[in-house]
Amino acid sequence: MDERDAVDALEHLGLTSYEAKVFIALQKLDTGSARDISRIADVPRSQVYGAAESLEERGIVEVQQSNPIRYRPVDLEAAKTHLRSRFEAHQSDAFQYLEHVECERSDTGDRQADIWTIKGAEALLKSSESYRFAS
């Protein structure tokens, strides 16, 4: 995995590209000003402030109110916990609604016995696993 892959992975966890780059830069620096972060992260300095503020709101960056303002990342385990719990909360909300929709659909009782085609080895394996666990 390289830095681009790490940025992509952090984006999948809900961070913006700038937030991911700032967080990675802070891991490299341990502590730094917007100027320091901008140089390392290849993020415009004007964008570092907003990204760092957002990361602070997420609980994964701490801010020292000094002149210049300095930033540091929280411990990686704490960051993992914050990001995981946030992801799981969003997942729970989404699937709670989808389960509600599924129940409404099931109440109509009009499910047809159509024939469906499954394409791709991965999709076929997942489908066969779900049938195996259902029986």
Query: For residues 52 and 63, is the Cβ–Cβ distance under 8 A?
Result: yes
Q: Note the pLDDT of residue 122.
A: 81
Within a domain: residue 48?
A: yes
Assess if residue 86 is contained within a domain.
no
pLDDT at 111: 62
Domain tally for the chain?
A: 1
CATH number at residue 7: 1.10.10.10
- 3-class secondary structure, 63: strand
Q: What is the pLDDT of residues 49-108, one digit of tens each?
A: 999 999 999 999 999 999 999 999 999 999 999 999 988 998 999 899 999 888 887 766
Residue type, 18: Y
**Structure tokens, 12:** 């999948």
Tokens of 60: 């994964």
Domain that holds residue 22: 3-78
Inside any domain, residue 19: yes
The pTM score is 0.73
User: What are the tens digits of pLDDT across the range 18-42?
Assistant: 999 999 999 999 999 999 999 999 9
